[in-house]
Structure 1
């Protein structure tokens, strides 16, 4: 590969595999929370929060066809242990044992190591979410030499986007960021012949962060090609998925339901800057192009943060506790300074918690977001815990 050592691709593949293990582990964690396998448990007069019993989890893996037998289930969980995703609650066992022992996800107890590789991975995930949610996104299916590449972009266009969106202070910084993403296996040149350059070379995301992983993929040394899927633990649900319907609801529960055509599930954080362009999900391979998800804002007019906080303003503050399920939280956020709720799945966790469209987001898990831009709010939601504590303001008129 030009511009780098001969082992750059090998290192990138290894880092990509670690990223895939992290994604699969996080998707499993959300599913186990949803299935109530992760909960506070008492052992020897001590309570261990957010843990699971190894033997029960092995049974669950077999019942849910994530492992064909107990031996495979043990190997899968050992893989997660080796990558510091789960651990024994007292760190007494370095191996995963199929017994009545308590284990815990490190993300649930705050011991997940945020080293450089993890931080680069989270940065790549945040950029990917912003790109796939963008209206007229630079991330799309592109062809080169009669070969079609998914999640592809032109190098100089990515540099333009990073600087325009404030993700990088200069073109030089943007190039350095993209080179770091490439070296960590998150992006690559489509033919793997080049390092990243601010040019017309074609690149693509090697990782589809929204694809639902099967745990058995973790047992391969290299990432296999897996058919694309719009499923994501952070997605707004489809309506009538068994009927092939590609629509979702953009409604307020007490109003008439409006069905908006969409080519895929929209991300829970399909966001847009309030004063900038609106961001929507891109087409999916095999579905009709040109369809738009939430083509325009649901707000009747733009509202400023100062207006929300001014004395006597016709807004009331509420606190919502939203416990995500295996699919996600079931809402779409857009705008910025302040962000607002663009769409709510009437059958999802957010609607059950009292969320409605046109509400303004004040804080996420205790962090004030009223004056933050959408990439920051997106990162707080996507990388945060399964249970969201959100303060919102809604119009009382």
Structure 2
């Protein structure tokens, strides 16, 4: 039995690495689309849709601090080629070259052949996202022995949830899916035997599908994606709810934590303090001061001589999120803006007060309600704000 468990664990680690590379590749693909690196290109009288130039992307990786030098950037892209995530547009080159050759993501040109593993990963990702956005998610922080584990659930609880949302055709089908998730290292038991059962045994999502991957991780054969308990379990750019434990007085993580002060972590980092997590403890949630110089009432904002100018911002979400933080109980203000994110590019600034979200009046709404309006809307976010006149 021990040898069997060890074999399953090693196989799960191998598949888990494949999944992490795949997720990193997908995040890169969306970012390159957002930055217009991927577009229709013409070469030798032929048009190659959704392609990118190798040399430009290598430069992009360095500019965005994803690689320290060109050699590392090339190695990152070569790793994606080896994992069949990208390929030369004519399949004439099996290596990634720092030239003006054109490459494409297989997810963009339909040449990515689905496998049993990829189907399970896709279903797992959907399940994870659904659970993380629910008001009363079954994913909880639980203690087992002397350790605490995040994103955990009970085996029987997972099957009940899958059937409730019509994601499986019965409990046996659900068990088969969960065993596949376990074999791929997507979920794991926090202790005990290495198998899935319809019981009160505690399991954990050990892959955080929302985590912002550093691309250099794909070159690391260890497990850089494993997150310590004291770190934030979610990318702070997501503006997506982690669970039901929203602390009183917290604020919506609509972007990277960059209040003024304290200093801001770099955008590519996914490891930030628990405070910036939506499930952070109340004590931490009150430790960060507001960026407002003084509290502002709704009457003060709407006064005829109020020192504010109304602006309209159009923010397109990238692969990570919108790139700002909302705080307040009404009126709400922008607490922080990621300087490299979509919000900053659209003119969002700290201390701007939110008037409308996609034409919904939000001046008297708290951050939770604004949060719900944003995540339930389209990726293109239209904000009306009142900006202080300095």
- Residue 41 of structure 2 is matched in structure 1 by 41
CA offset at residue 174 of structure 1? 1.6
Q: 1:187 to 1:233 in 2, by over 3 A?
A: same
- Deviation readout 1:46-82 (Å, 9 max, x if unpaired): 1211111111111111121111122111111011011
Q: 1:240 to 1:153 in 2, by over 3 A?
A: closer
Max Rg structure: 2
Question: Structure 2 CA distance, aligned partners of 1:66 and 1:240?
Answer: 17
- Paired residue secondary structure (1:7): helix
Matched, 1:203 2:203: yes
Question: Structure 1 CA distance, aligned partners of 2:316 and 2:4?
Answer: 45
Gap regions ≥5 residues in structure 2: 241-252, 262-274, 286-313, 324-341, 349-356, 362-375, 381-390
- Deviation readout 1:167-189 (Å, 9 max, x if unpaired): 22322222121111101111001
Question: What are the equivalent positions in structure 2 for 1:157-236 lying under 5 Å apart?
Answer: 157-191=157-191, 193-224=193-224, 225-226=226-227, 227-231=231-235, 235=239
Question: Structure 1 CA distance, aligned partners of 2:283 and 2:84?
Answer: 38
The question of whether the paired residues in 2 share the 8 Å contact of 1:187 and 1:205 is answered with yes
- Residue 132 of structure 2 is matched in structure 1 by 132
- Paired residue secondary structure (2:99): coil
Q: 1:3 to 1:140 in 2, by over 3 A?
A: farther
- Deviation readout 1:56-112 (Å, 9 max, x if unpaired): 111111121111122111111011011111111111101111111111111111212
Runs of 4+ in 1 over 6 A off after TM superposition: 285-289
- Paired residue secondary structure (1:42): strand
Question: Structure 1 CA distance, aligned partners of 2:3 and 2:160?
Answer: 21
Gap regions ≥5 residues in structure 1: 246-262, 266-281, 290-320, 331-345, 359-377, 382-386, 390-397
- Deviation readout 1:117-146 (Å, 9 max, x if unpaired): 111100000000111112221101111101
The question of whether the paired residues in 2 share the 8 Å contact of 1:4 and 1:195 is answered with no
CA offset at residue 327 of structure 1? 3.3
- Paired residue secondary structure (2:150): strand
- Residue 83 of structure 2 is matched in structure 1 by 83
Question: Structure 1 CA distance, aligned partners of 2:255 and 2:5?
Answer: 48
Question: Structure 1 CA distance, aligned partners of 2:211 and 2:254?
Answer: 15
Question: What are the equivalent positions in structure 2 for 1:60-75 lying under 5 Å apart?
Answer: 60-75=60-75
Task: Indicate the structure whose relative CO is greater, using CA pairs within 8 Å and at least 6 residues apart.
Answer: 1
Compute the RMSD of aligned alpha carbons: 3.8
Q: TM-score by structure 2 length?
A: 0.64
Matched, 1:94 2:94: yes
CA offset at residue 229 of structure 1? 4.8
The question of whether the paired residues in 1 share the 8 Å contact of 2:41 and 2:50 is answered with yes
- Across the two proteins, how many residue pairs are aligned to each other? 289
Question: Structure 2 CA distance, aligned partners of 1:243 and 1:232?
Answer: 13
